[in-house]
Structure 1
Amino acid sequence: MENKNKSILIVLGHPNLNSYCAKLAETYSEAARISGYDVNLLKLKDLKFDYNLNFGYDKTVKQELEPDIQLSQSLIQKADHLVFVYPSWWASMPALLKAWIDRVFLPGFAFAYQKHSPFPKQFLKGKTARIIITMDAPTWYYKWFNRSPGVQLLKHGTLEFCGVGKVKVTYLDQIRFKNEVQLKKFIEIIKQLGIKGN
């Protein structure tokens, strides 16, 4: 049985708030709320922040964290489960989502480097995640020919690196070839994930 007290943060990485991804994120959010979970839906398009990590991780120069970046970090800290909804663009992710990751998942917040070790201190342990990715390509093509670069970046390169465990992926493929009935089936899949808080 799922823990109904757990907090879920949904991150919409599509810059178009009228997109199919937006509908998926809202579907998950509504279903999870109805099921009794504590839910926050973060629409990255609504946030105001500098997309560039201007000085990298240079400790001698400080880049101020805008209120929306501070809010993002606070919501991540609060959440037990993270849900990312975004389209695969050029086999990766929208620039908006990548920019947000660069600005939010910082040393001292999400991880810390350790001397003489390639493995970081992980500050996001205990959390789980779900990646919901839409694409025009077939899933098999994205996985075997493209080698899932967008998922690799988010799942392994970011979330697991920072300690998030049990990162599951839902692939919704060939979107541009689907008819209304098929698209509604995808919506139902996401609704069920929201109901289960998974």
Structure 2
Amino acid sequence: MNCSAASDSQERSLKSFQEMAGRKVLIVYAHQEPKSFNGSLKRVAVEELSKQGCSVMVSDLYAMQFEPRATRNDIVGCLHNSEEFNYGMETLEAYKRGGLSSDLIEEQKKVQEADLMIFQFPLYWFSMPAIMKGWMDRVLVPGFAHEFPNCYDSGLLKNKLALFSFTTGGSEEMYAKGGINGDIRYLLWPMQHGIMHFCGVKVLAPHICFAPEYVSEEKRKEILIAWAQRLRTLWNEEPIICSPEWYFK
């Protein structure tokens, strides 16, 4: 390589680093055990994204003892209608007047700052763990994340990206289109489309680690290396087309 080519390559690398350095990432993590494979995936993401110059925030839901239940306690002050409690209406009114509980305000601040949200979790009963679903229920309230007709492509979080990274207990074959569990994309529909896309978030292809507890230690290391490699080029990826065709055809 001549000096000119080397200089151009260095300039491109510097420019790429500078572009990533200003980006912020929120990792919402749901696993009870820090030494778990999910914990390793989260650690790799923090390390790799930090190397890129990104600012990384982590909401470790179990460590935080995050409250998953959507209740009246989420509203500070008087209710809009104390005679008949409606969580959606009450949180909408509370958000508008700054009357949500402090834990929700803190999480919403993280979401507002984030360019990318990574959700890291083990698949529970074909879905995310209850504590993470509770985070979705309580944090992504009307007025903050959506407010009809501002949903889907016009959702209130439309300038953000999301990625679901998770592990399964079953093999890849079990989650294939003809597998006993059905196509894994069917399970992603409510998470990626029904929550993220509804709020306007653009969704990157999921990162799925099939049955890591049933493979060798060497294979687990390879899976972590592949995750780190993907993270290095993540910002160059195009979002998936969030439509029924992507999930069901």
Q: Classify the TM-score, shorter chain.
A: 0.7 to 0.9
* Bigger mean CA offset, 89-98 vs 48-57: 48-57
Quote how far apart the aligned CAs of 1:142 are.
2.6
2:171 to 138, 141, 147: 138
Quote how far apart the aligned CAs of 1:196 are.
3.4
Whether contact under 8 Å (2:152, 2:199) holds in the other structure is no
Distance, in Å, in 1 between the alignment partners of 2:154 and 2:161 is 17
1:105 to 127, 132, 140: 140
Compare the two structures and name the one with the higher strand fraction: 1
1:172 to 193, 206, 209: 209
3-state DSSP of counterpart to 1:141: coil
* Bigger mean CA offset, 45-54 vs 129-138: 45-54
Structure 1 residues without counterparts, runs of 5 or longer: none
Residues 131 and 88 of structure 1: CA distance in aligned 2, closer, same or farther (over 3 Å): same
Greater C-alpha Rg: 2
3-state DSSP of counterpart to 1:53: coil
- Whichever residue aligns with residue 164 of structure 1, its letter is V
2:57 aligned residue: 40
TM-score (norm. length: structure 1) = 0.86
Quote how far apart the aligned CAs of 1:119 are.
6.1
CA shift digits 1:48-105 (9 cap, x unpaired): 4432113431439969633332211111110111111111111111111111111111
- Whichever residue aligns with residue 59 of structure 1, its letter is E
* Bigger mean CA offset, 95-104 vs 17-26: 17-26
- Report whether the alignment pairs 1:23 with 2:58: no
1:127 aligned residue: 160
Distance, in Å, in 2 between the alignment partners of 1:27 and 1:91 is 25
Structure 2 residues without counterparts, runs of 5 or longer: 1-15, 72-85, 236-249
- Report whether the alignment pairs 1:69 with 2:104: yes
Distance, in Å, in 1 between the alignment partners of 2:131 and 2:32 is 7
Distance, in Å, in 1 between the alignment partners of 2:100 and 2:231 is 31
Quote how far apart the aligned CAs of 1:160 are.
0.6
Quote how far apart the aligned CAs of 1:106 are.
0.5
Within a 5 Å distance, the mapping from 1:51-90 to structure 2 comes to 51-54=68-71, 55-59=86-90, 65-90=100-125
- Report whether the alignment pairs 1:195 with 2:232: yes
Residues 49 and 89 of structure 1: CA distance in aligned 2, closer, same or farther (over 3 Å): closer
- Report whether the alignment pairs 1:50 with 2:85: no
Q: RMSD in angstroms over aligned alpha carbons? A: 2.5
* Structure of higher RCO (CA pairs closer than 8 Å, 6+ residues apart): 1
Quote how far apart the aligned CAs of 1:140 are.
4.1
1:152 aligned residue: 189
- Whichever residue aligns with residue 188 of structure 1, its letter is I
CA shift digits 1:128-160 (9 cap, x unpaired): 121111012123433533443542222111111
Equivalent pairs counted in the alignment come to 196
Residues 135 and 107 of structure 1: CA distance in aligned 2, closer, same or farther (over 3 Å): same
Distance, in Å, in 2 between the alignment partners of 1:73 and 1:81 is 14
Quote how far apart the aligned CAs of 1:20 are.
1.3
Distance, in Å, in 2 between the alignment partners of 1:20 and 1:162 is 29
Percent of pairs with identical residues = 25
Compare the two structures and name the one with the higher helix fraction: 2
- Whichever residue aligns with residue 175 of structure 1, its letter is P
